[in-house]
Structure 1
Amino acid sequence: MTFTDLTNNSLGNHTGHRIKGDNETEDYTNETSLSLALDLPALSVGVFLAVFIIFAIEGNIMVILSVACNRQLQTVTNYFIVNLAIADLLLSTTVLPFSATLEVLGFWAFGRIFCDIWAAVDVLCCTASIMSLCVISIDRYVGVKYSLKYPTIMTEKKAVVILILLWLSSMVISIGPLLGWKEPPPPDDSKCSITEEPGYALFSSLFSFYLPLLVILVMYFRVYIVARRTTKSLEAGVKKERNKSMEVVLRIHCRSVLEESCSSTRNNKGHTFRSSLSVRLLKFSREKKAAKTLAIVVGVFILCWLPFFFILPLGKSLYTSPPTH
């Protein structure tokens, strides 16, 4: 073998190694690009969920701080709203981050025990949130129906008792799976979902959603009826009082001094009545406005929850994880 042959073989071997290295680099580049392309949707979902969770946390904290820092907002109604914000804040901080992780990764990475705890906390927070809306609807009915007597009917002590009962009821509903009321766990610990055991699914759906929903619908329907009747009654009272005022003015100008004195007394009574009527109008207007605002919130909330609670008792959930707000 000549020197030229050795040189050509060496060059050939070197070229072959170089070509092989280029192919490996190209394959690695293609695999990396494909991996990035496949992970891009999951990454986009992760970013969206992270932003959503941050907004949920900030929004609920702002609601809580606005009531805590402003004495004028510290009313029984707003205490119920703060309780709703607390339930949603707990959901946003203790449940949603793990839901987002499950959604992005496609599997549960935190073990079977924490899966059971996480699912129970999810049910607890969601049930407390829905029951808070139920309590708010009852509070709005009392506020509209008995706008003047409302402060004596719905006191802070009663509100505290109601909130304690609310959380205790939520705990009773959510603790079932932790006590064994669920189907056998899957052998694969990377799977985690809310239990679809028929008995518990029906129980939790009934007491976490359908019964509170029934109360909410009945209360807001009655709020509508009361608001309509009261509005007509107050408008009629205003018109009647205006007519009486015109009669008093005519009598003052057309009758004697004695009659003026009597009319003046009646006018003072009329002024007291008008003041009472104005106060009632103002309070009723505020209560009705608050009821309308909360009715919109409740309506949107129900539309978001109804599909899940309709499917859950059937045991055909479309989700791989518990529901989120």
Structure 2
Amino acid sequence: MLSPENVSSPDCLNCTQAVGEVNVSKAILLGVIFGGLILFGVLGNILVILSVACHKHLQSVTNYYIINLAVADLLLTSVVLPFSAIFEILGYWIFGRIFCNIWAAVDVLCCTASIMSLCVISIDRYIGVSYPLRYPAIVTEKRGVLALLCVWALSLVISIGPLFGWKQPAPEDERICQINTAPSYVLFSALGSFYLPLIIILVMYCRVYVVAKKESKGLSCGLKTEKSHSEEVTLRIHCKNATENPGSTPSTKHKSHFSVRLLKFSREKKAAKSLGIVVGCFILCWLPFFLIMPIDGTSKPPSSRLEDYLHRTAEAKKGNGAK
């Protein structure tokens, strides 16, 4: 055991009765786990960003949203998680009160931006599946940039409240760095950071499912009709020994339009499925924490050790979720 000065406090989030005690074997194990998660998260998100930046054909508005998600998760894994790891390993905070407040604000900023990026992506996928041919006209680059600016602006508004005093009184011991448990802020941040985006995400993906199912059925019937109609037209052409080029007939033009529509819809449907898996992982990561946080924030006294554990677990998983 490494035993710096022991401290005892009921407000300590992450500490045992002896705050300064560090179990060496536990510290090594946590260090390896956190180190692996941080390395995997940083490299994975950098690869996502570089893959879009280095391939011109991938530079679409949809992929800009995915880059934004990767940037938020990259900041989380590179700026927030290393200090979380040190906090977890030592069992107490060593960086002072001011940095604790800044670190907590950046934590909320990155997590909120990540969740809101998924919200924007779900809206984008709904438009892509519902209006595949009109999508480029609806989702322009200018509107995409505006959406990303809104994501970071809203995330900033939600995260900076505690820096201006919207929090519970800070403990005297600077080695205690805890999640903000002020009831009004807890409810505000939980609604803004998670529940409202979650409702939008679920509504959008339910709509995507309904539209995709309806469109798949329609395109399947259309494909059979198109095939039958094409065979009929070909038979008539052979019987009449038509001299004009079949490619110029209205039926062929309709077939070409139908093929483009089918191809675009298939691509959008595949992208929606992939991103649906990401959203499912996101819900599994964050739902336990955001279920406990409002209850914990309004309980007397708050039992924040479970909340803190769930938060760090969700952070670690989410930081590796954009790849």
Identify the TM-score tier after normalising by the shorter chain.
0.7 to 0.9
The partner residue of 1:239 within 206, 224, 228 is 224
1:254 is displaced (CA, Å) by 3.9
The aligned residue for residue 270 of structure 2 is 289
User: Contact conserved, 2:292 with 2:307, CA < 8 A, in 1?
Assistant: no
Moved over 6 A (4+): 264-267
Residues in 2 aligned to 1:52 and 1:254: alpha-carbon distance in whole angstroms: 69
Residues in 1 aligned to 2:23 and 2:82: alpha-carbon distance in whole angstroms: 22
Structure 1 unmatched runs, 5+:
1-36
Counterpart check, 1:160 vs 2:140: no
Q: In the superposition, relative to structure 1, how do residues 320 and 218 fare at CA in structure 2: closer, same or farther (>3 Å)?
A: closer
User: Contact conserved, 1:67 with 1:73, CA < 8 A, in 2?
Assistant: yes
1:158 is displaced (CA, Å) by 0.5
1:43 is displaced (CA, Å) by 1.1
The aligned residue for residue 249 of structure 2 is 268
The partner residue of 1:144 within 123, 129, 152 is 129
Residue deviations 1:158-184 (CA, integer Å, cap 9, x gap) = 011111111000000001101111000
Residue deviations 1:89-121 (CA, integer Å, cap 9, x gap) = 111111100000000001000001100000000
- Please identify the structure whose Cα radius of gyration is greater: 1
The partner residue of 2:176 within 180, 191, 213 is 191
Structure 2 unmatched runs, 5+:
1-21, 297-302, 317-323
User: Contact conserved, 1:201 with 1:312, CA < 8 A, in 2?
Assistant: yes
Q: Which structure's relative contact order is higher, taking Cα pairs within 8 Å and 6+ residues apart?
A: 2
The root-mean-square deviation of aligned C-alpha atoms, in Å, is 1.8
Residues in 2 aligned to 1:265 and 1:73: alpha-carbon distance in whole angstroms: 35
The aligned residue for residue 44 of structure 1 is 29
The partner residue of 2:39 within 47, 54, 75 is 54
1:51 is displaced (CA, Å) by 1.3
TM-score using structure 2 length: 0.85
Residue deviations 1:117-176 (CA, integer Å, cap 9, x gap) = 000000000000000000000000000001011111101110111111110000000011
User: Contact conserved, 1:192 with 1:320, CA < 8 A, in 2?
Assistant: no
Residue deviations 1:193-229 (CA, integer Å, cap 9, x gap) = 2101111001000010000000000000000011111
Counterpart check, 1:121 vs 2:102: no
The partner residue of 1:84 within 61, 69, 85 is 69
User: Contact conserved, 2:129 with 2:211, CA < 8 A, in 1?
Assistant: yes
TM-score using structure 1 length: 0.84
The aligned residue for residue 89 of structure 2 is 104
User: Contact conserved, 1:248 with 1:267, CA < 8 A, in 2?
Assistant: no
Q: In the superposition, relative to structure 1, how do residues 320 and 244 fare at CA in structure 2: closer, same or farther (>3 Å)?
A: closer
Whose helix proportion is higher, 1 or 2?
A: 1
Written as runs of structure 1 = structure 2, the 5 A alignment for 1:298-313 is 298-313=279-294
Residues in 2 aligned to 1:216 and 1:261: alpha-carbon distance in whole angstroms: 55
The aligned residue for residue 217 of structure 1 is 202
Residues in 2 aligned to 1:266 and 1:46: alpha-carbon distance in whole angstroms: 66
Counterpart check, 1:178 vs 2:159: no
Residues matched between the structures, number: 286
Residue deviations 1:286-307 (CA, integer Å, cap 9, x gap) = 0000000000011011111000
